[in-house]
Structures are given as C-alpha cells and as structure tokens.
Chain A
Amino acid sequence: MDGAALLDEIRARFGAAVVETHDHRGDHTAVVERAALRDVLAFCRDSGALAFDVLMDLTAVDYSRFPGREDGPRFEVVYHLYSIAHNHRVRLKVRVEEDDATVPTAVPLWPIANWFEREVWDMFGIRFDGHPDLRRLLMYEEFVGHPLRKDYPINRRQPLIGPAH
C-alpha cells in the first residue's frame, strides 16, 4: 500500500482524531490526538491492510525553540512504524503540552516500547501512562533534569555520579 493510501485508511477510521497529515520528503506522517493514540497504534498493528508489526522507533522532539511554534504544544512524541509483510512505513506523532506531558504507553502493544519510553522519559521528562517500570534508561537515577529539553544547557555539569548518600 502506498503512503497516501495508508494515511487515507487511518483518516477514514479515526476522522477528526487525525489532526493533520503530510508527506514531506516521502515520509508519510499523521499527527493524531492523544486520546486516540492507543487506538490508532492498535489499529495500525492489527489491521490486515496496514499490519505494522514493528515499532521501529519511538522518540520525542522539544518544539519550544522552533521558530513559529514556541507557543504551541511543547513536545511531539514520534512513532516510526514498519510493516515487514507489506514493506511500508508510517510516522505517527502526538503533541503534548509541557504541564501535561503524559502519553498512554505502547508497552501492551510492543514490549520494545518499554525501553524506548524509558529513554524518552529520561531525556524529555514525558511520562507514559500505564508504563510498568518508568525508570531512567541512559542517565543515572540521581540525575536532575531532562537533558534533551531545549532549556537544558549543554554545558551544565552535575556532580552526582553514584548513590546520593
């Protein structure tokens, strides 16, 4: 199925929950409402025509310094899905505000989401609702802040390298 048809399929099923779609540089992308995210992901995985069986990547982007988007929702959580059977890809995104940075977890659908979501929590401070074990993945537990946020200065040093006491 080509990318445009994929997006049509998702739009036909979820209607207004699909905020916008684009295919910049051939990457077909749908931005969906957070409330519908879980259903969209499940639909993408289980629908026979889509059959996205691989959650290839899960990451986030902090848009707080992006020209023209400073006042919009701060974060975008980005899902890259791939289907082995059909050899097609799609990118799903969900926008969240800084003071309500929570997204439903994808762990029940794909176990790999466990580590990907831990990394996003670690780097961006976005919580995943229903995650079984939301610990930091790359940084240590005593680390303060979330380094990939745009307001985290690159040269900040933190002295803690082990247990605090």
Chain B
Amino acid sequence: MATTEPRATTRREFLLGEGSGTGAAAGQEAMHLGMGPQHPAMHGIIRIVTELDGETITGADVEIGYLHRAFEKDCEVGGWNNAIPYTDRLNYVSPLINNFGYANAVEKLLGIEVTERCKYIRTIMSEISRICDHLTCVGATAMELGAFTVFLYMIKAREFLWELVEAVTGARLTISYGRVGGVKADLPDGFADQTRKAFEETRVVLAEVHRLLTGNRIFMDRMIGVGMLSREETIAYSITGPLLRAVGVAYDVRRAQPHWAYDRVEWEVATQKDGDNYARYLVRMAEMEQSMRIAEQALAGIPSGPVNVDHEGRPIDPAMYVDQGKQGKTEGLLLVPITLSPNLQGQGRDAQKRVNVGDKRVVLPPKENAYGSIEGLMNHFMLIMEGYGIRPAPGEAYFATEGANGELGFYVVSDGGDRPYRVRCRPPCLPPLAALHRMIVGEMVADLIPTFGSVNMIGGELDR
C-alpha cells in the first residue's frame, strides 16, 4: 500500500474550514474500499484500492494493466507501417496524433522530412483531434459531477469535429491515416469551409459550457482545491500536458520543440497557477480555443499543389469525370489531364506528390503507377514483400509530440531490418496515474471521481 504522510492543510481546509476526519490514528482500523475495475467511473480498466478513515482517503494503491494488449510486442512482428493501426488504439480519443507521432519518429530514424503540405495537414488534423479529446474529457468530468447537459453539448460538438475526421480519413475512430513518409490521402475539397462551420458550432458549444460551468457554484465547489498537486511534485512525476500547465509551467512540445507547422502559426500556451481540478478544466477550455486558432491559420496558410482541371482549365472533380463518361459525354474528356484514383482512397498521383515524400524506399507508389508501369509495380512489391519494405539504418530515435494528455513520445530502434526492433511509446497519461495517489490522499472519497476525470485517463495508451 503506497501510503503517504498526511499533507499540510489543503486549500479546501484553509478556505472552507473542512476537517479531515478522525480515527485511524487513534488505533482504529482503517476501511479498505476497492473501486473498479467494474466501477463506471473507472472506465472498467482501473482498480483503486483506497484506505478510508470515515470518508477521507488515507491511502491509495492504483492498479493498471487491465487493457494491456502488447502494443510494443506486436509492433515488432510486422513492417514499420504495420504499427499504424495499433497506434490508433493508443489514445483512441485523438488517434491522429498517435499516427503522426509514430510516423514522424520513424521518419526521424530514416532521416527524411515530409512535404510542406503534409506538415500542415498533420498540424490541422492533430489540433482537431486535440479538441475532440478535450471535449470528451471535460464533458465526461462534468457528467460525473451530475452536469449531464454539458456532456451532451460537448459530444454534440465532438460530432461536428468527427465529421471532419471522417471526411478526411474515411473513419471516425480507428482512422489509420498517418503513413511513414506522409499521410494516406490529401484533404478533401471544401475542407476549409467544412472546418470553419464545425468550428463555429464548437465555439457556440464552448461559450454555452463556459456559462454553464465556469461560474457554476456546484461545479466550482467540487473542483476548486480538489485533486491538487504541487508544481514540484508535478515535475518530479514527469507529468506533462494540461496537468503541468495547470501548475503554471508553460511547457508544451509544440512550443518548446516546434515541428510540422507549429512555428508558423500564432498561438498561446494556456496556463493556470493553482494545480487543482478547476485549473485543469480552465486550461483545457483555453486550449480548445487555441487549437482552433492553430487549425484556422494552418488552413489559411497551407501550401497548395496542382489540382485536377478540365481541358479549359476549370477544376474538375474526379467523380464528375466518371459520371460524364458513364453518360457518354466523352467529348473532350480525353484531353483532360485528370488523374483518377483506382484505389478509391482519394489519393491520385498528384495528391500523392503533395502529401508524401518522394522517397521510393519509404512511400508506396500511387496505384496508377503500381497498375500501370513496371517500375511502379516493382516499387510497390519492394515495399510490400517480407524482408524488403522500409529498412532504416541501424540506430535509434526518440520523437515527441504534444498529445492531448501531454508529451507523447515514440522511441524506435532499428536493426536495419524491415520491421521495428523495438517500439516504445511514452504514454502521456501514465505519469498522472502514477501520481494519482498523491492527488487523492487526504481528500474525500467522492472527490476521487472528478480528480480521476480531470487526469483524463485513456486506457488504450496507459496500458498499451
């Protein structure tokens, strides 16, 4: 039992004059209460054994591992790109960030850099994912405190954003959109407009939630001064992300080690001072607005490439091209330098050039080339056949990006073969869970729920 010494007066005791129970010290037996893994607030995958004195938690042991799926072991079995679908399932609320983080770690190991357009796409999609993640976290925390309306509003907003994700990747959750050397496909037409509308809706929801929660007496009473962790301890426990920024440390990987397009957009690192659940809530709310700012600027500044145009120079949609052909309106169509996408993934030859690196050792050729030329076919097989594929030189690399919960790091080791020798994911929500007993000891047992909600435990990345 990881019992710890009682702390100095908590903020609540100081401000609200609350006592901390009586008893256990005077020779009475403490009560042990196991919460989870079958407890609704524990998401079915965490067990917290609490030691109680009355309703005050005097000790806690957090058990994890119920969702362990051998992610790191599985990565060693297939090729480098085979790990992409597994990374979807790390933080399944913002899977795009995991995709890109892993792909970029492998690119770093290979010593290649993606195209400018791809960098912007990664930035935009990461920020949309981050908003989804924060919406889920704040919504769920509010729901666990009884504010069910907020949960529904936030899930509504997430739905608008997931529609964007679906438009780009074709899926909502297990998106598998990142690739070593680029992304699966270019952004769809009209994506900027669609995003603008979705952000408008999201801003309405955020304003509503601000009115519902930020000054709400019940919410404040449950959040202020609860689940506190000092600045020193937060750093000593390697906690990053919103929890670190909630104690006043403005560390954000996007700002400290800018990658993709983060150094080309204007945004602020949101911080708070108090390190309690309320501060974490405020940081997340502010970060959603900043994420929208980043995505909007990135969409405005995204470098374009060639687009499909008809023989008179007007843009033409590939689907329209097909439809006209079916209707027999083939006059002039042969003159159109259009590239169709035989794999139906929206990734034609031109789009491929825009979003993927030109390195033939890394990126699969567009399907037109694979089906249409012997070089393309050979290129395709060289990447697909066992024993060939992507083969980084022996070595190791660590790449970190800012996940929704903090620093998401991938440490990859290559032995020169076609499959990873070792893939290590530094899960951003493991450190807060390791420090959870420091946040809940000394608090009431009912405060465990909002505190657990505010650390935003995501089982997929925690247990891997």
Binding site for B on A (CB under 8 A): 24-27, 29, 53-57, 59, 61-62, 65-67, 78, 80, 84, 87, 89, 91, 110-112, 114-115, 123, 133, 136-140, 147-148, 152, 154
**B residues near A84, Cβ cutoff 8 Å:** 235, 249, 251
Q: Does B109 contact A (CB under 8 A)?
A: yes
15 cross-chain CB contacts under 8 A: A25-B108, A26-B108, A29-B396, A56-B238, A56-B400, A61-B421, A65-B415, A84-B249, A87-B257, A110-B237, A111-B236, A115-B434, A123-B72, A138-B464, A154-B73
* Given A112-B431, A139-B68, A147-B73, also A25-B111 (CB < 8 A): yes
With contacts A59-B424, A80-B426, A137-B65 taken as known, whether A25 is within 8 angstroms of B397 at the C-beta atoms is yes
Task: Evaluate contact between A24 and B72: CB separation under 8 angstroms.
Answer: no
| Distance (whole angstroms) from the CB of A109 to the closest CB of chain B | 9
B398–A91 touching, CB < 8 Å:
yes
Closest 3 CB pairs of A and B: A138-B65, A115-B434, A57-B426
A111 near B74: Cβ-Cβ < 8 Å: no
Q: Does B70 contact A (CB under 8 A)?
A: yes
How many angstroms from the CA of A40 to the CA of B463 in the assembled complex? 30
**B36 shortest CB reach to chain A, Å:** 15
In contact, B411 and A140 (Cβ under 8 angstroms): no
Q: How far, in Å, is A86 (CB) from chain B's closest CB?
A: 10
Q: Verify if B422 is at the interface (C-beta below 8 Å from A).
A: yes
User: Do A154 and B74 have beta carbons less than 8 Å apart?
Assistant: yes
Across the interface, A138 reaches (CB within 8 A) one of B64, B257, B400, B421, namely: B64
Cβ–Cβ contact B238 & A25, under 8 A: no
Question: What distance in Å separates the Cβ of A132 from its nearest Cβ neighbour in chain B?
Answer: 9
> In this assembly, does B319 line the interface, its C-beta being within 8 Å of a C-beta of chain A?
no
Determine if B357 is an interface residue (Cβ-Cβ < 8 Å): no
Which A residues touch B238, using CB under 8 A? Answer: 54-57, 110, 112
Q: Indicate with 1 or 0, residue by residue over B444-464, a CB within 8 angstroms of chain A CB atoms.
A: 000000000000000000011
Closest to B232 in A: A53
Known: A59-B411, A62-B422; 17 extra A-B contacts, CB below 8 A, are A25-B111, A57-B398, A59-B426, A61-B413, A61-B422, A65-B421, A67-B394, A89-B398, A111-B435, A112-B236, A112-B237, A115-B434, A133-B2, A138-B65, A138-B68, A147-B73, A154-B77
A113: min CB distance to chain B, Å: 9
Contact with A along B429-446 (1 / 0, CB 8 A): 011011100000000000
B396 near A27: Cβ-Cβ < 8 Å: yes
- Residues from chain B with Cβ under 8 Å of A53 in the complex: 235-236
User: Is B366's beta carbon under 8 Å from chain A?
Assistant: no
Is B416 located at the chain interface by the 8 A CB criterion? yes
Cβ contacts under 8 Å, B305 to chain A: none
The interface residues of chain A lying within 8 Å CB-to-CB of B257 are: 87
CA distance A29 to B398 in the complex (A): 11
Contact of A154 with B236 at beta-carbon distance under 8 Å, contacts A137-B64, A138-B64 already known: no
Q: How far is it, in angstroms, between the C-alpha of A78 and the C-alpha of B450 when the chains are bound?
A: 35
Chain A contacts for B422, CB-based, 8 A: 61-62
State whether B398 touches A27 (Cβ < 8 A): yes
Of residues 240 through 292 on chain B, the ones whose CB sits less than 8 Å from some CB of chain A are: 240, 249, 251, 256-257
Tell me whether B389 is interfacial, beta carbon within 8 Å. no
CB closest chain-B residue, reference A91: B398
Q: Closest approach, in angstroms, between the C-beta of B49 and any C-beta of chain A?
A: 13
Closest to A136 in B: B65
CB distance from B280 to the nearest CB of A (A): 18
- When distances are taken between beta carbons in the complex, the residues of chain A under 8 Å from B463 are 138
Q: In the complex, A62→B65 CA distance in Å? A: 22
B395 within 8 A of A: yes
Output the nearest chain A residue to B77 by Cβ-Cβ distance.
A154
The CA of A127 and the CA of B235, in the complex, are separated in Å by 25
> Is there contact, CB below 8 Å, between A24 and B411?
no
B79 at the interface (CB under 8 A from A): no
